[in-house]
Amino acid sequence: MCGELSKILTINISREQLRRFLKKLGYKWKRFRKSLHKLQDVEAYNSKLSELKQLIDLEKDNYIDIFYADATGFNQTGYIPYGWQPTNEYIHITPQKGKTLQIFGFMNKDNRFEGYSCSSSLNSATVIAFIDHFATTISKKTVVVIDNASIHHSQEFHNKMEEWKDHDLYIFHLPTYSPHLNPIEILWRKMKYEWIEYEKIDSFDELEQNVIHILNNFGENKKFKIQFNKELLAKQKVSIIFE
């Protein structure tokens, strides 16, 4: 960029000069964010969003419970792209390839969490087994909000959806490419970027112990929790969920 600008302006521009100029314009050096917004079907998205808002209103009136479900994986590679470090010192995180701990969780707006672990890749049968067990823990009509992963759309999964209705559990599929509408994504991010200290973990067993410790101590009156206030939700773009 410096070379191109130097040619256009016919003067030599150094990286430092460009950096100072961009800072004066209000730019900051920070990580790019991925966005799936352009991949969404606007009409289908708005229709699903309207349905979700109706469900949230029913929950506010205490007619139903809503739990947000999703799966994520934890391994020793770590999830910290960069961070503040002392001058002339570096925090070293050793990349590790190997096992991944898969967690499938259900979370509601009050920080109640039900989780299931799996050391192998998740498939439709595994998720069905988790939901089957979760259905035994509910005490009223409950909607499970879930994404559109292929394992959530198998014929076996759709057959089970009818069976779960008999147990007052209903599945609501989010619109495609809409992870921002699933608040459990906030939990995964906080675990991976804030709560787990990867630089202190030397083995997969230690990582697993850390993950289980956090999930066992996650809740409204526990050590780990999420304050679903408007400021946080605005930043995470899920303000429609708990406003």
pLDDT digits (tens, 9 = 90+) for 108-137: 989 999 999 988 889 999 999 999 999 999
Q: Which residues does 103 contact at the CB level (< 8 Å), separation at least 6?
A: 71, 72, 73, 74, 115, 116, 117, 118, 211, 215
- What is the phi/psi pair of residue 229, to 5°? -95, 170
Q: Give yes or no for a contact between 74 and 192, defined as CB atoms under 8 angstroms apart.
A: yes
Domain with CATH 3.30.420.10 in the chain: 37-242
Q: Give the separation between CA 136 and CA 134, rounded to whole angstroms.
A: 5
pTM, two decimal places: 0.73
The domain 37-242: what is its CATH number?
3.30.420.10
pLDDT tens, position by position, 190-234:
999 899 988 888 899 999 999 999 999 999 889 999 987 643 444
Query: CB-based contacts of 38: which residues, under 8 Å, 6+ apart?
Result: none
The two beta strands, 142-146 and 113-118, are: unpaired
